[in-house]
Chain A
Amino acid sequence: MIPEGMRDVLPPESGELRAIEAALCRRFEAYGYGEVRTPWLEYAETLEAVEDDTLEAGYRLRDQQGHELMARTDMTVPVARLAAARFHEKPLPLRLFYVAPSIRPWAPQRSQDGEFVQAGAELLGLRSAAADAECVVLLCDCLAALGLRGFRVALGTVAFYTALVDSLGLDDDREKFLEALAGRDYPMLESIAGNAGVDQNALKVLWRTLELSGTRDALSQVRKMASSDAMDEAIRHLVEVRDLVANAGFEDSLALDFGLYQDLTYYSGVIFEAYAPGVGLPIASGGRYDGLLARFAWDIPGVGFAIALDRLHEALEEAGAVPAAAPACIAFAGGLDEPARAMELRRAGWAVAALPAGAPAPPRPRLQRSGGSYILELADGSEVSGSWRDVLRALGIA
């Protein structure tokens, strides 16, 4: 028995996940990002520096001095803590990445394991559309490099939302309204808007904006609806990011979505989510969080994203693009008694599992000694029987 929501990972899935992780690390490093690892336990106080609904249910324990500790519920906050503590006043920008598990209490509607691995990148110290674009490009490049076809990155911005809500002229109800907006609670939105006497036309604009997503005419429509400088500025910024991403060659993978929302409260600018055919929930999500580092006494901007490894794995399975975990392993009956021969195959790049002589026939590919000669049976059905030299030749070694 293991705790609810947790899981074991067995071969070959474990090998596939490792191959995916390795491919992602190579992409992160190709853009100059350096890997960081942080402890999975943090002071509860550290994680609570950020208001986040997922914290309330997080796993907590106490150390021997009675300090309250907490299992991290995501990586962005620990990386922000690490950056502020270890790189304070160092030259910017700072490029960091991680591949690490986080833990959240399992709930059926989250359709994610209690412990889930994320691969993510954080670009700290730059406040520009170009920095936003680099993160989106890096995400697209990661997915494309793995051979994932047909994925889409939806790109939106929190700034457009807040500007739109400002234009509605809500005062006291602003926060409540944004909360309802994030939860897509339309009746609540309507009742708040009704109480505040919001203009019906302005509300219609809001609905229309929320509906327009991923459509080709979304941009022109939203431009027509923009009624304040802040909204114009948000649109201009998004277009700039989109053009830069297009310049990097990922135009077809990008869709502007002015109705995009994120549950996390620390996002302050662009937000984006990646979707792939056959997987209902986002395989990656990210955005700009300019206020986050300030909570750890280093007021620098930041933007980043995290890929959910299990969902990416599922998407790659759908696309038939799961990277091979390991070369097929040859089961060598009698190999335990002939370590030198097994070693010869391994040095040539084959995986060999040595078995006692006379072991019951394992699945192919398999190799066994029979008197003075060897029988090699490969996975494609071919068979070779003869001397050791024949075996080597059949395996393309000699």
Chain B
Amino acid sequence: MKLGLAYHGGPPPAQLLDLLERAGLPAGALRAAVGPALVDVGEVTWLLAPGADVLEACVRGALDAGIAGKDLLLELAPPVHELLDLRVCNDVLVYATPEPAAGASHRGRPRVATRYPRVTRRHFSVTGRQVELVAFDAAALAPGLGIADGVVELRSRLLGDDGGASAGRPAGLHVREDVAACSARLVAGRAARALGGERLAELLDRLRASLEER
């Protein structure tokens, strides 16, 4: 079986690996894995790669299933089936600005820096607001650079959890609204569903059972 796991540098989150192991998947060897890589563990070949790559591999039929964040699924809207919310790596995409009351500049429409241009455009347009998008991977730094009035970013990437210890981390961004709740999701490409339905159904049952155990 070939499975994909979105990889963001550093070992995959422990709670996700715990969940996979409880479901009988050999994920222990991934604890020290460094990606991007193909890792063979028993019967399973793991693709450790950026989330977008995992999704692309699913779309192209190279994987039986993949695990990626809901944020990417929303942004890329790939033609995959989202099978299960794994309820780990929970996070929230938020709109944040430096001042609690800021958000509209003198130009009438705020500049919003983000790695999620599609999600951002949709979020503001369905709520009847106009923004100017700034594509910027390190979005949280953009207001400090003076190139954006606000950001749409995962909450965990916005605020250093360790308070003042995170030198250089952007300080003082205030969350103004939630855009979308995110968590790790199990997805499968359309071909995997058609060609390996039995295998997928079994994997789903095991994962669901280990989710309910928690």
Residues of chain A having any CB pair with chain B under 8 Å: 109, 111, 150, 152, 154, 183-184, 186-187, 210-216, 218, 255, 257, 259, 273, 275-282
Contacts and interface: CB of A to CB of B under 8 A. Distances in A.
A212 B81 CA distance: 12
Chain A contact residues, majority secondary structure: mixed
B195 A152 contact: yes
B: contact size bracket: 20 to 34
B190 A281 contact: yes
B61 interface: yes
A257 B83 contact: no
B38 interface: no
A184 B61 CA distance: 18
Given A214-B196, A259-B193, 13 more contacts: A109-B78, A152-B195, A154-B193, A187-B181, A210-B81, A211-B83, A213-B194, A213-B197, A218-B197, A275-B190, A275-B194, A275-B195, A280-B189
B190 A280 contact: yes
8 contacts: A210-B81, A213-B194, A214-B196, A259-B193, A273-B194, A275-B191, A276-B191, A280-B58
Contacts, number: 79
A272 B49 CA distance: 32
A152 B194 contact: yes
Interface in B169-214: 180-181, 189-191, 193-198, 200-201, 204
Contacts of A154: 193-194
6 smallest CB-CB distances across A and B, nearest first, come from A214-B197, A280-B61, A280-B60, A275-B194, A154-B194, A275-B191
Contacts of A109: 76-79
Contacts of B61: 275, 277-281
B60 A259 contact: no
Which of A187, A215, A280, A282 has the most CB atoms of chain B within a 10 A radius of its CB? A280
B60 A111 contact: yes
Contacts of A187: 70, 180-181
Contact of A216 (B60, B79, B198, B204): B198
